[in-house]
Structure 1
Amino acid sequence: MTSDEFFRLVRTWLTIHLPRARRLSPHTIRSYKAALNALLDYLRETQHLELDGITFDGINRSTITGFTTWLLDVKHMEPSSANQRLAAIKSFLSYCAGEDPALVAIWLDVKLVRPVRAVAHAPDGLTMPAVDALIRAPRQDTRRGLRDTTIILLIFDAAARVQEILDLTPADIDTTPGAGRVTLTGKGTKTRTVPIMDKTGRHLDQYVNEFHPGTPAPGASFFYTVRAGQHHQMSQDNIAYLLNKHAAAARAHCPELPERIHAHQLRHARAMQMLRAGVPLPHIKEFLGHANIATTSIYASADSQMVREAIQKAASVTPDLAPIWKGSDDLILRLAGLK
């Protein structure tokens, strides 16, 4: 097969199959595109191929195994990220096999490549004092401070992924006291509705009054930036910048804040808070939008504080054992087997 056929299938997969047939989100499609770009970089770097020389003939189980090793050893990628790239490549080849029976053998061969074994790391959630300091860091008497406070508070309270926050529209927000909630669109365009605190609802109302006066368009971006007089959806880089900006200011009062902050640390902190409050894992799974409860279970295995507290509580109600080594010297020696 020629390189033209290879890149024709790449284009139809990215521009037609994924967005129209599978209805994947733009964020997911960007991830798949990154995987293909990484594979092209690998082929050019290790096999010294030009783009117009890349065909399906050079893709097999050995090639893709080498690709995952390259991601780990050369690009220093985490196993979970390397496995995401591998899954994307397999998905692409599955599509290609459906389009051209001549590619079925390649797809079946690459299917045998096993994912990298990933070591489960404890979630790096922020402590609650750190969360509080980060939420309080923006000056709420300024327009931008109000926006940043609302974003940080909502990410934490809804335990939301960054893209879920960026994809919010005014129609997704309900600030009714005692029944406030937000509807989040997660991975695979799956939606879930999560409750929010009344305090978060009040901040959202203030934000709407300032940033969406009047009757906002239901499908407009809830959080936005202004460029050339036009509203544009905020980017993940915007969120990363504001988080680290306010963390730097808050660190003077709360040394527990790490040097680098990312939004997932707020999500992890909320999950750990719920676990410690006694919320069952299946409920936390639905709240976080996890597809598998095994993903949620890592919070339970990571929380050594809960285990420690349970042990101390059990020790306080356990009666002391009667002393064994008590009596005359002769009796103690006999019990110890010394006589």
Structure 2
Amino acid sequence: MKSDEFFSLVRSWLTIFLPRARRLSPHTIRSYKTALNTFLVFLGETRSLKLDQVGFDAITYSSMNAFLTWLMDSRHLAPSTANQRLAAIKSFLSYCAGEEAALVAVWLDVKRVRPARAPEHAPDALGMAAVEALIRAPGQQTRRGLRDTTMILLLFDAAARIQEVLDLTVADVITAAGGGQVTLTGKGRKTRTLPIMDKTGRHLEQYRELFHPGASVPGALFFYTIRAGQHQPMSQDNVSYLLNKHADTARENCPEIPDHIHAHQLRHARAMQMLRAGVPLPHIKEFLGHANISTTEIYASADNKMVREAIQKAASTTPDLAPIWKGDDDLILRLAGLK
């Protein structure tokens, strides 16, 4: 099929089917749009395809597997986020197959692509030294530096998801000293109002004076980018890019910052900090906007693991004692209750 037919189906899917037939939220539709835009970037970078050359013949089992790998290796997305992009494109192709019988084969081919496997591990929270280095990295001497500093600080302080910060409006931010707060809209359109540090409030106020001078429109997006002279929403991928760019700078002073980072590591870091400060799990659950406390309990498990590792490290300097058991390593671990 020609590119005009491809983009015609894209338009009807995004503007008619998803909002009217499926009645999906603007947030979900924006996520689907991001997935398609990212796929077009992938085709341009790896297949040298211009937009007027893109058609359904570029969407195959092979290209979608390559796209999934590219998202994680080149865009540094977490497997869960990469899988969301894949699911969005599968949803689009399912719609196309219903509109045009000739596309059923394309849909069935891509449907076979398996999601990336996410490794099971405790939350990969950044240490506080890494958080502080990352917040300082953009500097505040430039307009963009001030914006990036403010966004990173808010992502940490409010333990917010990227999209929750990107959806903030001017009216959602209150910066009064001693009473600063932000109202975030999370999954399922549920809102929660969170207190923020006075330091964060001062940065947000400074940002607002520069980026929303004069009489601000309450419904205007707090963070935005400018394209063609107009304020436009920022994408999650854009935030991921700037985080890793500043991480490269911060790593010079803080080697513990991993090679690739993502915004959720700031959210994890804030949750771990609250837990160690003695904040009860039910309060952390509400702060993070978790639907179920079992999701929050993973932070307690992670903290116990860190304590155990610290104990083991300290014990490594003590003299070796006679072994309690001898034999196969696996058997010993099982007898010790470690397996």
TM-score normalised according to structure 2 size: 0.64
Q: Distance in 2 between matches of 1:207 and 1:86?
A: 35
Return structure 1 stretches of 4+ with deviation > 6 angstroms: 8-13, 31-34, 69-79, 85-95, 115-118, 308-312
1:86-101 alignment, distance < 5 Å: none
Q: Distance in 2 between matches of 1:292 and 1:134?
A: 30
Change (3 A) 1:295 1:90: farther
Amino acid across the alignment from 2:122: A
The aligned residue for residue 159 of structure 1 is 159
Count of residues paired in the alignment: 299
| Alignment map for 1:113-132 (pairs within 5 Å) | 120-132=120-132
Alignment of 1:1-339 (within 5 A): 15-16=15-16, 18-20=18-20, 21-23=23-25, 25=27, 26-30=29-33, 80=80, 120-303=120-303, 304-306=305-307
Mapped to 2, the partners of 1:282 and 1:70 lie a distance apart of 41
Quick one: structure 1 residues 93 and 279, their matched pair in 2 at CA, closer, same or farther if it must change by over 3 Å? farther
- Structure 1's 258 and 310: CA in aligned 2 closer, same or farther, altered over 3 A? closer
Distance 2:17 2:289 in 1: 25
Q: What CA distance in whole angstroms lies between the structure 2 residues aligned with 1:125 and 1:288?
A: 14
Give distance in 2, aligned partners of 1:75 and 1:241. Answer: 12
User: Would the aligned equivalents of 2:32 and 2:89 in 1 still touch at CA under 8 Å?
Assistant: no
8 Å CA contact retained: 2:68, 2:86: no
CA contact (8 A) 2:225 2:231 kept: yes
Greater Rg by CA:
1
2:25 partner amino acid: R
1:237 is paired with a residue whose SS is helix
Classify 1:235/1:74 alpha carbon distance in 2 versus 1 (closer, same or farther; 3 Å): closer
- Deviation, 1:189, is 2.3
Contact kept in structure 2, 1:126 and 1:257, CA below 8 Å: yes
**Unpaired runs of at least 5, structure 1:** 1-7, 38-51, 54-68, 96-114, 313-339
Q: Is the 8 A contact 1:172 1:184 kept in 2?
A: yes
Q: Contact 2:72 / 2:82 at 8 angstroms: preserved in 1?
A: no
Q: Which runs of 5+ in 2 are unaligned?
A: 1-7, 41-54, 57-64, 96-114, 314-339
Q: Deviations over 1:252-271 (max 9, x none)?
A: 11111112222111111111
Whether contact under 8 Å (2:271, 2:299) holds in the other structure is yes
1:190-241 C-alpha deviation (Å, 9 max, x unpaired): 2221111111001111111111111111121211223333222222233223
Q: Give the partner amino acid of 2:306.
A: Q
Question: Following the alignment from structure 2 to structure 1, what is the Cα–Cα distance between the partners of residues 175 and 67?
Answer: 45
Q: Residues 127, 82 of structure 1: CA spacing in aligned structure 2 closer, same or farther, 3 A cutoff?
A: closer
Using structure 1 for the length normalisation, give the TM-score.
Answer: 0.64
Provide the identity percentage.
67
